[in-house]
Structure 1
Amino acid sequence: MGSDDANTILRMAGLATPMALRVAVTLGLPDRLRGDEVAVERLAEDLGVAPVPLGLLLGHLTTLGFFERTATGYRTTGYGEHLCGDTLTGVLLNLDTAGGRAELAFVELLHSVTTGEPGYDRRYGRDFWGDLAEHPPLRESFDRQMTHRLRADAPQLAAGYDWGRFATVVDVGGGPGTLLAAILAAHPGTRGRLVDVDVSVAARTFAAEERASVVAGSFFDPLPAGADAYLLCDILHDWDDEHAGRVLARCVEAARPDSRVLVVEAVGGRRGRTDMDLAMLVIFGGRERRVAEFEALAAPHGLVLDAVTDVSEGRSVLEFGIG
């Protein structure tokens, strides 16, 4: 292996840049330096941090093009504006948000790989969902993250699959209601019901929508019965096989014999990314399952895979019937 290869590997493995980006976002530097340049000393005073280390941070990120140095200080470049707080990138990198906090669990990846257990629990003393319940600001940031993540895909998901076949859809663990709202907008004959532990945001989403209602509850508890379809979007990959199976069991318990269970998420080997496999493992003890793994997970609950439809760049719909 040549020195160029070794240097490339070391750059890939280096932690300085990933952590520098997260610290800059957490301190709000991209927003603070957007537009007008600010001297390091004044910026440090405003933020209550030491000026010399702050200068080192800005210096490194300037070499990467996120900031530029002027005669009187630093300012955010157009490239750096992708780190601002109103972007998905900013939400995910901020160490004070659910996404940014969760990614620090990667320091426990060795534990997760050797045991199959989530590293998040080991780092923080409770699982991801317990952490959100304990800290409402984390829950709020998670809802914002999911809204950002689904916003681009929701129109494709709503238009790329025949949701109009179903008179009633129960969105299980639907969070803010982004996807269900898109489905109802695209299919006027469909009614929806959203189930989630926290429905405060979804209640606002559907405040003026007569065809939708929200129900507070966990997907590990009994679900509204008798719907035509039970939708699980980005749910199963957050759980190991035991817990994911329990979610499917609740859907089957609530469903009619002719109902459908619809799983919408990235599918390994199809739309899933290998880095997200590791993220799901270290945060939740889950993974981006392959089609055969979904079939094996669903079979004990009497679910039979009828079709797989790729509906966006990142997600597919797996349609299960009750056999």
Structure 2
Amino acid sequence: MSGLITPMALRVAVTLGLPDRLRDNPVTARELAPELEADPLALDLLLAHLTTLGVVERTDAGYRTTGFGALLGAGAGNGLNNLLHHDSAAGRADLAFVDLIHSVRTGEPAYPLRHGQDFWADLAAQPHLREAFDRQMNDRMRDWIPQVVANYDWPRFGTLVDVGGGHGTLLAAILAAHPAMRGHLVDLEETAAGARELFREHGLGERAEVTGGSFFDPLPAGADAYLLFDILHDWDDEQAHRILARCAEAAPDGRILVVESLGESTEFDLVMLVHFGGRDRGLHDFERLASAHGLTLESVTQVTGGRTLLEFTR
């Protein structure tokens, strides 16, 4: 329970690219060190521990990635590489956990203390972090999307605005399953560009509109429903109120659909705190937030094993 050694060794291995570099061509630490700009003795110590973990193995020619270790490769298809790399959005954010005590004492995120500015400012300043974050969200949604599409009565709404909808994978799936619906996605322009391309690829260009912008700004008005999928847990109550206020003013006669985990993971709560200053909330927390904007909870629907859709109306 006290060991940071193995988690950090795995993150450093991913950041140095070892699972991919050692997959096909075994090499010694001394041979590899100049290529990685690493100390050969220190690299050998790291590789020795990775051998103990079964991530690499020793051969006559040097260290080689095992089948187990290949699961950490960039092309493994499981998202682990993107989560662990020091220079990805998630990996960089997790390094702030060394300052968890700051978050516990203040209720504020530790990310700015570690990196000099908040998570979202970092993404805006470094496009490769924004791209890594968008890829992380796509990886997370991949298994959920069929369940979300199947487990809710989407065709009740002629128009659906996906607020902070990323690259549009969920909205595209909903529209593809229900040809009478129209959609509108709102996200920051860097991400919105990816949504436009996805909608074109799926032949949805005439039914799916994209607006580049923030959900803190006025939203497209008059839609039948506004969807916030895994948005509010990234923010403290003050900012969550701002987001809900924008939805409420855009939808005087529409529904607000909030999809979140209802406080089921203590680990995820700490992630939200350290990264963003946010948290998972319970059902009554969402009712309290929504009531300030004249919204009443109308229904609760389990859409995946870990996500619940809360439908609010005036």
| 1:144-203 Cα distance to aligned partner (Å, 9 max, x none) | 111111111111111111111111110001111121112112222211110011211111
SS at match of 2:144: helix
- CA deviation map 1:263-313 (0-9, x unaligned): 112221xxx311110000011111011111111111101111112211112
1:191 aligns with 2:173: no
- Cα deviations by residue, 1:65-90 (Å, 9 ceiling, x for unpaired): 11122222122222212211133111
Cα separation, 2, equivalents of 1:90 and 1:156: 25
Q: Secondary structure at the match of 1:206?
A: helix
How far did residue 127 of structure 1 move? 1.0
Identity of aligned residues (%): 62
Please point out which of 129, 132, 155 is paired with 1:141. Answer: 132
Is 1:294 matched with 2:286?
yes
Pairing of 1:1-323 with structure 2 (within 5 A): 12-86=1-75, 87-198=78-189, 199-207=192-200, 208-209=203-204, 210-257=206-253, 259-268=254-263, 272-322=264-314
Cross-structure match for 1:7: none
Provide, for residues 40-72 of structure 1, a one-character-per-residue CA deviation record: whole Å limited to 9, x for no partner.
222223222122111111111211111122222
Aligned with 2:166: secondary structure? coil
| SS of equivalent residue, structure 1 residue 174 | coil
TM-superposed CA distance for 1:138, in Å, is 0.8
Structure 1: which 4+ aligned runs deviate by more than 6 Å?
A: none
Task: State the Cα deviation string for residues 189-234 of structure 1 (Å, max 9, x = none).
Answer: 2111100112111111112312101001110000000111100011
C-alpha distance in 2 between matches for 1:164 and 1:80: 44
What residue in structure 2 maps to residue 8 of structure 1?
none
Give distance in 2, aligned partners of 1:169 and 1:13. 47
Matched AA of 1:191: R
Q: How far 1:28 moved relative to its partner?
A: 0.7
Give the distance between the partners of 1:36 and 1:308, measured in 2 at CA.
53
Return the offset for 1:256: 3.1
The answer on whether the counterparts of 1:62 and 1:68 sit within 8 Å (CA) in structure 2 is yes
- Change in Cα spacing, 1:81 to 1:265, as seen in structure 2 (3 Å) is farther
Q: State the secondary structure of the residue aligned to 2:143.
A: helix
Superposed displacement of residue 314, structure 1: 2.3
Alignment check: 8 A CA contact 1:159 1:186 kept:
no
For the 8 Å contact 1:67–1:77, the answer to whether it is kept is yes
Aligned with 2:117: secondary structure?
A: coil
What is the root-mean-square deviation of aligned Cα atoms in Å? 1.2
- Unaligned runs of 5+ residues in structure 1 are 1-11
Q: How many angstroms does 1:35 deviate by?
A: 3.3
AA aligned to 2:112 is D
Asked if the contact 1:303/1:321 (under 8 Å) is kept, the reply is yes
Check conservation: 1:20, 1:61, Cα contact below 8 A.
Answer: yes
The one-character-per-residue Cα deviations of 1:72-111 (angstroms, maximum 9, x if unpaired) are: 2122222212211133111010010111001111111111
User: Contact (CA 8 Å) 1:311, 1:317: kept in 2 or not?
Assistant: yes
Looking at structure 2, the residues matched to 58 and 316 of structure 1 have their Cα atoms a distance apart, in angstroms, of: 43
The amino acid of 1:211's aligned partner reads R
CA contact (8 A) 1:62 1:69 kept: yes
Q: Which amino acid aligns with 1:261?
A: I
Distance in 1, matches of 2:169 and 2:2, equals 36
Q: TM-score, normalised by structure 1?
A: 0.92
Which is worse superposed, 26-35 or 242-251?
26-35
In structure 1, what is the Cα distance between the partners aligned to 2:148 and 2:59? Answer: 45
Name the TM-score, length of structure 2 as normaliser: 0.95
In the alignment, the residues of structure 1 paired with residue 47 and residue 23 of structure 2 have an alpha-carbon distance, to the nearest angstrom, of 14
Aligned residues: 307
